[in-house]
């Protein structure tokens, strides 16, 4: 038995070695180098300055604005996309008309390049775009300069939902299909209503899937820079100026120390959030057991 375990472990390590080397070469080592650079005064002399770069970063108004906008966007978008994804997945899990076509429609944004559809979003939310023409002509509302007011935040939120909701729906739909139908039939016989079935069966058995969906949604909310950059440019409205904009501008000005310090702080915040979610999920499992 021990010999078989050793052979199996050796085979697993051999298969994992190429991926591990690639991950270390392109992700782990560059990140470790960036963390090291964040404690230096420059990339030439490498004089150790301790936490000076982080102090200057936290004292920067632009960084605080970027950090607050990023976390505000995540706090709003993640619960919203979770609720919408779960609702759509529950609907698509039933025997309804055009169910297969609707599943395909929600997955299409995952395979369409963002750059190719940004023009559509620009035309839609431009001052003379389709949205203003529809609202002013059909309902009499005043025109809104979507990308140069606080409304830009809602535009990016819609783009984020459009791009990522299909992935979450597929995951939740797969989780729903794993729940035995006998549980619902038994609960119905015992007099449980739909709301009680949803809370006592569906949510409980979707805990692991929803946990993964929340983590991926948080990570994707921090990666919304690509869409924002293509729609609004380098310096968008203050309401959508995020961490990635700040780091991109630091890279353009070759301020590597602030760039690496900001990247380290953002990675640390994401790590803390994920660890907190793991802790909550573990405690929830113990409570349910």
pTM for this predicted structure = 0.81
- 40 forms bridges with which residues in the sheet? 48
Tokens 């390590």 sit on residue: 13
- Answer yes or no: is 3 within a domain: no
Query: Which domain CATH number covers 120?
Result: 1.10.3720.10
- Answer yes or no: is 210 within a domain: yes
Residue from 85, 87, 89 nearest 77 by CA: 85
Joined together, the tokens standing for residue 109 give: 């944004």
- Answer yes or no: is 127 within a domain: yes
Per-residue pLDDT of the chain (289 residues; tens, 9 = 90+): 555 556 677 777 888 888 889 988 888 888 888 888 888 877 666 778 878 888 888 888 888 888 888 889 989 999 999 999 998 888 888 776 666 777 777 777 777 777 777 777 777 877 777 787 887 777 777 777 777 778 888 888 888 888 888 888 888 888 888 888 888 878 888 777 778 878 777 888 888 888 889 988 988 888 887 778 777 777 777 888 888 888 888 887 777 888 888 888 888 888 888 888 888 878 877 776 6
Residue from 278, 257, 197 nearest 54 by CA: 257
- Answer yes or no: is 202 within a domain: yes
- Answer yes or no: is 26 within a domain: no
Q: What is the domain count for the chain? A: 1
Tokens 């729906």 sit on residue: 169
- Answer yes or no: is 213 within a domain: yes
- Answer yes or no: is 10 within a domain: no
- Answer yes or no: is 140 within a domain: yes
Domain carrying residue 208: 59-288
Query: How far apart are alpha carbons 109 and 167 in whole angstroms?
Result: 9
């Amino acid at each position: 038995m021990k010999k078989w375990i050793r052979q199996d472990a050796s085979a697993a390590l051999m298969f994992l070695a190429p991926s591990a080397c690639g991950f270390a070469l392109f992700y782990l080592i560059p990140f470790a180098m960036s963390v090291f650079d964040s404690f230096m005064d420059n990339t030439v002399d490498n004089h150790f300055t301790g936490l000076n770069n982080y102090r200057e970063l936290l004292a920067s108004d632009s960084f605080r604005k970027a950090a607050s906008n990023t976390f505000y966007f995540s706090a709003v978008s993640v619960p919203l996309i979770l609720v919408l994804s779960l609702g759509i997945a529950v609907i698509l899990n039933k025997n309804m008309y055009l169910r297969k076509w609707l599943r395909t429609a929600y997955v299409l944004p995952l395979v369409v390049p963002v750059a190719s559809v940004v023009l559509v979003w620009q035309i839609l939310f431009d001052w003379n775009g389709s949205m203003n023409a529809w609202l002013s002509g059909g309902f009499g509302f005043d025109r809104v300069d979507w990308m140069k007011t606080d409304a830009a935040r809602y535009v990016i939120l819609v783009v984020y939902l459009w791009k990522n909701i299909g992935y979450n729906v597929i995951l939740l739909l797969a989780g729903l299909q794993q729940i035995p139908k006998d549980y619902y039939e038994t609960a119905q016989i015992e007099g449980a209503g739909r709301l009680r079935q949803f809370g006592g069966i569906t949510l409980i058995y979707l805990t692991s899937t929803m946990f993964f969906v929340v983590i991926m949604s948080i990570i994707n909310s921090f990666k919304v820079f690509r869409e924002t950059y293509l729609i609004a440019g380098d310096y968008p409205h203050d309401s959508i100026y995020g961490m990635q904009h700040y780091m991109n501008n630091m890279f353009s000005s070759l301020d590597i120390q602030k760039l690496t310090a900001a990247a380290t702080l953002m990675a640390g915040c994401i790590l803390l959030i994920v660890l907190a979610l793991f802790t909550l999920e573990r405690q929830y499992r113990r409570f349910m057991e």
